[in-house]
């Protein structure tokens, strides 16, 4: 029999394709699923403690898409989600996670992961959700994250300042960096370039307001570009300054405004009544003075109102008895 090397190679290639289709259920894939397996096993090796054994089935035998916390795209047969919450994992973030080229959700909330976010993560071009809250991460968000144009939801723990490069993620709708040690001025220019923001949570950081911590006007003015903002949280930051009288004209859709535990002084502007969708308002533990404006009773959707521990004078407006949905009211210690 004459050996035809060309036909043999074609036949071999055909058999490989057929076997891959049989194994992967006729789904095209972005790269070898073994690459995803190797990346996940490299991450497992970077974990020094796995007390709840959530990674016990991460091995060479179990199918990758059956690993605990792993989800795959059935069309491309690639890992698209890595979600491990409250597992008390101890270790580092492996840069090999960047080899999960189709990863869209990376959520490792409430573990004991330390170190920095590897700059290699900037190659995760499909990443849209990054949740790393409740870990022991340090350093700054890599500037190379500006390449992650699909990133829409960020929930982190960091030092330093929020990098300006975050503005390149123009589709971002949730920026939650609460309970960190972020410094610098409130990120006015940065949020002004994130018009799709729905949720802005900056509470319990070490930021300051402008002009030696005495001017909140420029920050609130910058938020005018965030026309669909739903929640604004700046609690526990020791911010100084006054609430601008224009605050009622800035947000048409705001439902939650949390500014407690700061050093905000001055009076409450009656224009606050223009925040017609507001359901939660917390101004407790500040230096506010003057009278409580009766107009506040016109916030018909208000469910929670906290004004305690300020320096208000006068009586509580009788009109505040007209709230129809109010379930929590605290006006003590003023």
Q: Where are the domains of the chain?
A: 28-138, 179-334
pLDDT score of 163: 80
Q: Write down the pLDDT at residue 203.
A: 96
Asked if residues 196 and 173 have their Cβ atoms less than 8 Å apart, the reply is yes
CATH code, residues 179-334: 3.80.10.10
- Give the pLDDT of residue 101: 93
For residue 160, the model assigns a pLDDT of 80
- The reply to whether 179-334 shares the fold of 28-138 is yes
- The SS3 call for residue 240 is strand
The pLDDT value given to residue 328: 92
Q: What is the pLDDT of residue 26?
A: 38
User: Which runs of E-coded beta strand occur in 5-98?
Assistant: 47-49, 70-73, 78-83, 90-92
- For the chain, residues with pLDDT lower than 50 are 1-29
Own/partner pairs, 221-224, CB within 8 angstroms, 24+ separation:
221/188, 221/246, 221/250, 222/188, 222/189, 222/191, 222/192, 223/191, 223/192, 223/250, 223/251, 224/250
Instruction: Check residue 318 and give its pLDDT.
Output: 86
Distance of alpha carbon 8 from alpha carbon 141, whole angstroms: 52
In degrees rounded to 5, what are phi and psi of residue 74? -70, -20
Closest CA to 272 of 290, 299, 253: 299
What is the spatial distance between Cα 28 and Cα 10, in angstroms, rounded to a whole number? 20
| 3 state DSSP class of 109 | coil
* CATH entry 3.80.10.10 includes domain 28-138: yes
pLDDT of residue 76: 66
Indicate the SS3 state at residue 42. Answer: helix
Tens digits of per-residue pLDDT, 176-213? Answer: 888 888 889 999 999 999 999 999 999 999 999 988 88
Provide the greatest CA pair distance for the chain.
Answer: 107
Which residues are within 8 A (CB) of 124 and not within 5 positions of it... i.e. 6 or more apart? 97, 98, 100, 101, 103, 106, 148
Closest listed residue to residue 226, CA positions, set 271, 173, 272? 173
Burial classification of residue 132, based on how many CB atoms lie within 10 Å of its CB (0-12 exposed, 13-18 middle, 19 or more buried): buried
Question: Across 99-207, where does the E strand assignment appear?
Answer: 105-107, 112-115, 129-131, 136-137, 153-155, 159-160, 174-176, 181-182, 199-201
pLDDT value at residue 104: 96
């Amino acid at each position: 029999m004459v050996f035809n090397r060309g036909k043999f190679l074609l036949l071999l290639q055909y058999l490989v394709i057929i076997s891959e289709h049989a194994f992967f259920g006729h789904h095209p894939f972005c790269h070898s699923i073994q690459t995803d397996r190797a990346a996940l096993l490299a991450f497992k090796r970077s974990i020094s403690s796995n007390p709840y054994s959530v990674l016990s089935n991460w091995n060479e035998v179990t199918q990758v898409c059956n690993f605990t916390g792993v989800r795959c795209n059935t069309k491309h047969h690639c890992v698209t989600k890595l979600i491990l919450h409250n597992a008390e994992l101890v270790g580092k973030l492996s840069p090999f996670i960047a080899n999960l080229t189709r990863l869209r959700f990376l959520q490792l909330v409430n573990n004991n992961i330390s170190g920095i976010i590897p700059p290699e993560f900037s190659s995760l071009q499909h990443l849209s959700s990054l949740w790393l809250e409740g870990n022991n991460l340090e350093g700054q968000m890599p500037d190379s994250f500006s390449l992650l144009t699909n990133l829409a939801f960020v929930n982190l723990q960091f030092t330093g300042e929020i990098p300006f490069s975050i503005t390149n993620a123009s589709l971002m709708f949730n920026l939650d960096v609460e309970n960190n040690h972020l410094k610098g001025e409130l990120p006015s220019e940065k949020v002004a370039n994130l018009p799709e923001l729905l949720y802005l949570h900056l509470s319990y950081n070490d930021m300051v307001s402008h002009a030696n911590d005495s001017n909140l006007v420029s920050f609130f003015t910058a938020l005018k570009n965030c026309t669909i903002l739903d929640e604004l949280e700046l609690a526990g930051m020791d911010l100084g300054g006054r609430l601008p009288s224009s605050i009622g004209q800035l947000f048409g859709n705001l439902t939650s405004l949390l500014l407690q535990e700061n050093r905000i002084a001055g009076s409450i502007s009656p224009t606050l009544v223009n925040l017609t969708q507001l359901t939660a308002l917390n101004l407790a533990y500040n230096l506010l003075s003057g009278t409580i404006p009766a107009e506040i009773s016109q916030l018909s959707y208000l469910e929670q109102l906290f004004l305690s521990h300020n320096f208000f004078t006068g009586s509580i407006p009788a009109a505040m008895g007209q709230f129809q949905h109010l379930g929590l009211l605290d006006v003590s210690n003023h």
